[in-house]
Amino acid sequence: MTDSGDRTIRVPVLARVEGEGALDLIIRGDRIEQLQLRIFEPPRLFEKLLEGRPYTDVPDIVARICGICPVAYQMSAVHAIEQVFQLNPGPWVREMRRLMYCGEWIESHALHVHLLALPDFLGADNVIELAERYPDEVRRGLHLQGLGNRLLRLVGGRSVHPVSTCIGGLSHAPTPAEIAALLDEFRQALPMAEALLAWTASLDLPDEQQDFTSVALRHADEYPMNEGRLVSSAGLDIPIQAYQDHFREYQVPHSTALQSSLDGQPYLVGPLARINLNLDRLPQDLQQQVAACGITFPSRNMFHSLTARAIEVVYAMGEAIRIMAAYQLPDSSRVDVTPRAGIGFGCTEAPRGILWHTYELDADGQVQAATIVPPTSQNQARIEDDLRNSLTAYGLHRSDDELRKHGETVIRNYDPCISCSTHFLKIKVGRE
Amino acid sequence: MTALSVIGIGSPHAADQLGWQVIDMLRQNPAIQDLGSTRLSLHRCDRPGLSLLEYLKGVECAILVDAVEGGTAGRHVRLTREQLVVDPARLSSHAAGVAEALALGDSLQLLPSRLVLHGMEIGSAGIDFIPAETNLRQLAGAIAAEVAHCCQEPDNLKNAPGAVTKTNTQ
């Protein structure tokens, strides 16, 4: 700290987040002069990489964008491409895609809650230290994460970068015996997920109320995963095709990831936004559990994201049980595909929030152009807003170490997937 | 769950296939086949991260097989549980490897009582390293010997013969 009270605080590498980022903070007196969530992970250029590729390559390529949420990338892509081909793969495929999403939500949320977020709220440096004090809770978290992974392996072929998803359906169908075995384990583990929900709601989380706009999909009669309209807490209600009429991506100098705004303002996507906008789409018994947990949703406390994730773990467990209990082996796991030219849109709910894709294809189904807007990109401006509010409320007079730790806690609370978000590179070439 | 598991850790990419190649060789080994799946399970494990703990659940003896960064390319190393369980400074889900998974498993008392890693050093070649067939067969042979040894007497897993013992996987 200088005599004038000016301080520069740097978190050069953020720990316990997916990918590589940093936080730079300049405080002048009693106010934050500059705050930058700096994402320096190299651009990955997936959109350009897709150009010229056949539609059949797309699900496998986009799955490589993320090892934690590959299903989300596959789902947004196949829905967009099937929209171009005017293809409806039918109810069996719809249910299997929802089942895969359940697996991804369970593994991703269980991982974030236990390994990445909880150490912040329970005074531990990492999950290994946490495990020494809360062994039963961490074992429970690992078991739930493992079940999510096993569901992905069964339906997707493997848990990291699944391989079964294709345009028109799945490349294989699990046998009823395989489904029945996993169903039994899911039924046994459902009380564990419910206990997780009650436990996270009982934790003494920071109480910070903030103003922000929640954005999520909303479906007519189910909790949103693969389908729905885009809605916001500010009254937005549009089809996913109209996304670019309201949302804008833009580059900031300090980040290799694009930021996004809704009608010029930051917004929130992810589990808290989904719960805030879709509480009434949860099953009645789960709504009762949420009502009994002591937290009122919609919530303006960003730290309630932890409980929102736990609610979605319970939901995904129950939804997976429902789908697996009704499982029947189909005659075919996919429908025939006839390529067409056109532009299609896909928007699904990744664990971290809405993931919007659009593809332009030619008559052979070859990709002419692709745009992918990941949830972490969309949350970046909101995270910076949150940091300004939260650090100021926390007290800028605090020590650098305290501010650094609180800043990291705020960022990790969003479960940012930095690797996913860095897909853009702006190149300016000067010629004489 | 079987009492003894051999887990090849890797991915479909270049040198990272090493653990899987050894598992494939073991599957062709008549002595291994004779043990049957109730006594011994063989796994090809794709970049498991912390999910490695799922493969270790309920197992009495586990042998991990993996490529080891650094050292002398092609050299066989054998690391014991005590050498494998270290305290990682930072744990991120993108960087959770074997050491981090084992450290967490140790703190949760989820690890098998007998745990060993058989690896092959890849030197400075990194992912471009291509193991020689003879080195792979030597590694598979050492693991088959250890499997036979611990099937006779499980306590012997800690002191199996015929392997160079190294202390550093980095």
Partner B contacted by A35 (CB < 8 A): no
Model pLDDT, residue B169: 30
Give the residue from A220, A255, A234 showing the smallest Cα distance to A39. A255
DSSP codes, A222-290? S--SS--EEEETTS-EE-GGGHHHHEEEE--TTBSSPEEEETTB--B-SHHHHHHHHGGGS-HHHHHHH
Tokens read off for B64: 């991990």
- B58 contacts: CB under 8 Å, gap ≥ 6: B1
Q: Kindly list the residues from chain B whose CB atom is less than 8 angstroms away from the CB atom of residue A19.
A: 94
Residues of chain A in contact with residue B103, where contact means CB-CB under 8 angstroms, are: 128
Q: Percentage of chain B surpassing pLDDT 90? A: 42
**pLDDT, tens digit, 9 for 90 and up, residues A274-300:** 999 999 999 999 999 999 999 999 999
A201 and A344 inside one domain: yes
Q: Which of the residues in chain A have pLDDT under 50?
A: 1-3, 422-432
- Using one digit for the tens of pLDDT, what is the confidence trace for B98-115? 888 899 999 999 999 899
Q: How far apart are CA B85 and CA B102, in angstroms?
A: 6
Residues 59-88 of A with CB under 8 A from B: 67-68
**Has residue A308 been placed in a domain?**
yes
CATH of domain B4-159: 3.40.50.1450
Please check whether residue A423 is in contact with residue A46, taking contact to mean a CB–CB distance below 8 angstroms: yes
Question: How confident is the prediction for chain B on average, in pLDDT?
Answer: 82
Full strand arrangement of the beta sheet holding A342-350? A342-350, A353-361, A367-373
SS3 (DSSP) at B42: strand
Instruction: Report the candidate in B19, B25, B15, B89 with the shortest Cα–Cα distance to residue B52.
Output: B19
Find tokens 């939260």 and name the residue: A390
Tens digits of residue pLDDT in A383-408: 999 999 999 999 988 888 888 888 88
Please check whether residue B93 touches A, CB under 8 A.
Answer: yes
Q: Answer whether A54's CB lies under 8 Å from A47's CB.
A: no
* Residue A44 pLDDT: 76
- Three-state secondary structure call for residue A9: strand
The pLDDT tens digits of the residues spanning A343-368 come to 999 999 999 999 999 999 999 999 99
> Best-predicted range by mean pLDDT among A84-88, A386-390, B121-125, B133-137?
A84-88
| A367: three-class secondary structure by DSSP | strand
At A131, list the tokens: 């495990």
Judge contact between A2 and A219, C-beta under 8 A: no
Residue A232 inside a domain? The answer is yes
ipTM above 0.90, yes or no: no
Q: Which residues of A touch B99 (CB under 8 A)?
A: none
The span from the CA of A420 to the CA of A66, in Å, is 6
**Residues A288-318: b if buried by 16+ CB within 10 A, e if exposed:** ebbeebebebebebbbbbbbbbbbbbbbbbb
Tokens linked to A333: 């796991």
A128 at B interface, C-beta within 8 A: yes
Taking residues B19-36, report their average pLDDT: 91
Cross-strand partners of A66:
none
* Statement to judge: residues A201 and A326 lie in one domain: yes
Domain-located, residue A432: no
Q: Which domain holds residue A305?
A: 46-421
CB pairs under 8 A between A and B: 63
**Residue A15 contacts B where some CB pair is shorter than 8 Å:** yes
Residues A63 and A19 in one domain: no
CB contact under 8 A, A146 and B107: no
Mutate to test the interface with A, among B55, B92, B102, B106 (most CBs of A within 10 A): B92
Domains of chain B, by residue range, sit at 4-159
Neighbours of A401 (CB within 10 A): 9
- DSSP string for residues in A29-77: TTEEEEEEEEE-SPP--HHHHHTT-BGGGHHHHHHTT-SSSHHHHHHHH
Pick among B90, B108, B110, B111 to test the A interface (most A CBs inside 10 A): B108
Cα dihedral value A364, A365, A369, A370, nearest 10? -170
Q: Output the average pLDDT for chain A.
A: 91
- The secondary structure of A388-422 as a DSSP string is HHHHHHH-TTS-HHHHHHHHHHHHHTT--BHHHH-
Rounded CA gap, B114 and A183, in Å? 32
CATH number assigned to the domain comprising residue A183:
1.10.645.10
CA-closest candidate to residue B1, choices B43, B58, B42: B58
What's the domain count of chain A?
2
Strand positions, DSSP E, chain B: 4-10, 40-46, 61-68, 76-80, 114-121
Q: CB neighbours (10 Å) of residue A223? A: 25
Kindly state whether residue A250 falls inside one of the protein's structural domains: yes
Do A241 and A274 lie in one domain? The reply is yes
Task: Give the pairing type, strands B4-10 and B61-68.
Answer: parallel
Helices B133-152 and B18-27, axial angle in degrees (round to 10): 60
The CA-to-CA distance between both ends of chain B, in Å, stands at: 31
Q: Is residue A163, in this structure, part of any structural domain at all?
A: yes
- The span from the CA of B82 to the CA of B21, in Å, is 26
Q: Is residue A429 part of a domain?
A: no
Q: Please indicate, yes or no, whether residues A15 and A107 belong to a single structural domain of this protein.
A: no
Contact criterion met (CB < 8 Å) for A135 and B94 = no
Buried b (16+ CB within 10 A) or exposed e, B130-158: ebeeebbebbbbbbbebbebbbeeeebbe
* Chain A residues in contact with B104 (beta carbon < 8 A): 127-128, 131, 138, 142
